[in-house]
Structure 1
Amino acid sequence: MGAFSRAFVEFVLTNEVAKRLLEWSRDTYSPDEHYWATLNYNTHLNAPGGYKAKSDPTIWTSRYANWGESHCYGQIIRGICVFGSLDLPSLLNRHELIANKFYLHTDPIAYQCLEELIFNRSKLDLPLNDATFYRRMPFLLPS
């Protein structure tokens, strides 16, 4: 899972190398695990919005998944926490853009509360918890 610029997505949809890589990856195991990363980190492709800096394995801004490093108030399914409503207070203080995973049939209230929060933040134009965290990311384009 990743968060990409519009220019990068347009590159993925129109670039011949990207199209051929996608076609080739159809016959590989778990293509989603390597397709996006290959295009995003390969400096030879010169993808707009691609990551050019040295990778920092400690920074994960796209997705948060609890693989057992924190208490799970929902359910553990195949080794990963499926978040419940009691997980929401800790999730609200995280910097990742996406929380993985929610199942409607496990705890629909958790999903609905998070959906309402995101809607309200968008509608009311409320600021992020800590916008300076995102501004310090080495991969952001200067504004």
Structure 2
Amino acid sequence: MSQLNGNLTMARGSVAATLSRAAVDWMVNTVDLSTLLDQLNLDRLGVDEVFIPSLQVSEDFDMPGRFTKECVQKGHILDSITRAEIWVYSTVPCLTRNYRHSVCVFGIEDLNRLSKNKRLSANKIRTEFDYSIVECVHELLFNRTYLEQIDNPLNMSYYANRQEILYHKNRLYRNESFKLDCNTNHSTWA
């Protein structure tokens, strides 16, 4: 394993992350992140919200599939595809009107809109609050996977045209006409 040398661009983001297989392999088998983790663990708050986001925007470390700090430096934050969540201050209503740590707890009331949501996971679902949402989402995923239920066709262009993907493709196959659009914001709520 190699020790990382370079300047780490600090970034804060979600604890949840969507990483490429190459990025995970890099983190586990190529670099030694123990010193970085030890240094981050000296702080008591928000360490889990700094580790992956910082690796994702640090050009010196060049993690596979990384993004850029350019949008954040301009004050633009692109929404994430990793996790669907509704914060207490959101304009999107919490249909259950139940919150935990300022995040809406989804229930069966949310099944329709979660089934149409483009994000890869949902936060928060609590079985002790409403187990039916868990069972219904399981059935929905089973039906889509094994019974070829096509109630909401997957729109691959939504994912393929996201700025993170276009940026990564441009890193691999240089296109002189490529321009990063930090103003793009994809709404994932129906």
TM-score range, shorter chain: 0.7 to 0.9
Confirm or deny that 1:72 pairs with 2:94: yes
Confirm or deny that 1:131 pairs with 2:156: yes
Secondary structure class of the residue paired with 1:139 = helix
Of 25, 28, 35 in structure 1, the residue corresponding to residue 51 of structure 2 is 35
Confirm or deny that 1:94 pairs with 2:117: yes
Match of 1:6 in 2: 21
Question: 2:108 is matched by which residue type in structure 1?
Answer: S
Confirm or deny that 1:120 pairs with 2:143: yes
Q: CA deviation at 1:116?
A: 2.3
Question: 2:94 is matched by which residue type in structure 1?
Answer: C
Q: CA deviation at 1:128?
A: 5.0
Question: 1:106 is matched by which residue type in structure 2?
Answer: F
Give CA-to-partner distance per residue, 1:72-122, whole Å, 9 cap, x none. 222222321100001111122222111110000000000111122223333
Match of 1:60 in 2: 80
If the length of structure 1 is used for normalisation, what is the TM-score?
A: 0.85
Worse-superposed segment, 27-36 or 53-62: 53-62
**Separation in 1, partners of 2:35, 2:83:** 27
**Separation in 1, partners of 2:142, 2:34:** 34
Gap runs ≥5 in structure 2: 1-15, 170-190
Give CA-to-partner distance per residue, 1:32-75, whole Å, 9 cap, x none. 10000111110110111111374351432111211132222222
**Separation in 1, partners of 2:20, 2:87:** 28
Secondary structure class of the residue paired with 1:47 = coil
**Separation in 1, partners of 2:130, 2:85:** 17
Would you say the 8 A contact 1:12–1:19 is kept in 2? no
Q: Alignment identity in percent?
A: 24
Aligned length: 142
Would you say the 8 A contact 2:58–2:69 is kept in 1? no
Match of 2:38 in 1: 23
Secondary structure class of the residue paired with 1:104 = coil
